[in-house]
């Protein structure tokens, strides 16, 4: 959940929806992922961050007019977007949804084997 929270938090500036809420999660859940170090973030803090990030994302995405989804995201240059206009906000949302679904499957598998 910490990994998904950090990834979703990065969506805020990438989609032009605001600043990140929890960049401190990157070290434990993105940069040093896969248990290189023991987690320094308490599960309660992860749950709280998950709720905050996803509430902000949900509200910001709901307020975004449909035509804005086809505009470029902030991780692509104007030149690259002109060459590949499918590198838009909607494509980022689609790939992140697939990413979350992948991890949801991992969680289900872990829970059934536990």
For residue 25, give the CATH number of its domain: 1.20.120.450
What is the rounded CA–CA span in Å between residue 100 and residue 72?
22
- Rounded to 5 degrees, what are φ and ψ at 7? -65, -45
| pTM for this entry | 0.88
Span 69-85, pLDDT tens digits: 999 999 999 999 999 99
The torsion angles phi and psi of 3, rounded to 5 degrees, stand at: -60, -50
Give residue 27's domain range: 2-113
d(CA 104, CA 90): 21
Signed CA dihedral, 8, 12, 13, 15: sign only: positive
Q: How many domains does the chain have?
A: 1
- pLDDT confidence tier of residue 114, bands split at 50, 70 and 90: low
Q: What is the mean pLDDT of residues 31-40?
A: 72
Question: Which sign, positive or negative, has the C-alpha torsion 108, 112, 37, 24?
Answer: positive
pLDDT of residue 32: 83
- Calpha distance 48→38 (Å, rounded): 19
Please tell me whether residue 25 adopts helix, strand or coil conformation. helix
């Amino acid at each position: 959940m910490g990994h998904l929270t950090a990834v979703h938090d990065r969506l805020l500036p990438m989609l032009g929806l605001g600043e990140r809420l929890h960049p401190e999660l990157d070290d434990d859940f993105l940069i040093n992922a896969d248990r290189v170090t023991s987690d320094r973030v308490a599960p309660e803090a992860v749950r709280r961050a998950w709720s905050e990030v996803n509430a902000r994302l949900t509200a910001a995405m709901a307020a975004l007019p449909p035509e804005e989804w086809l505009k470029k995201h902030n991780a692509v240059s104007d030149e690259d977007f002109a060459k590949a206009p499918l590198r838009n906000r909607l494509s980022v949302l689609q790939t992140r949804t697939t990413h979350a679904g992948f991890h949801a499957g991992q969680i289900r598998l872990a829970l059934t084997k536990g």
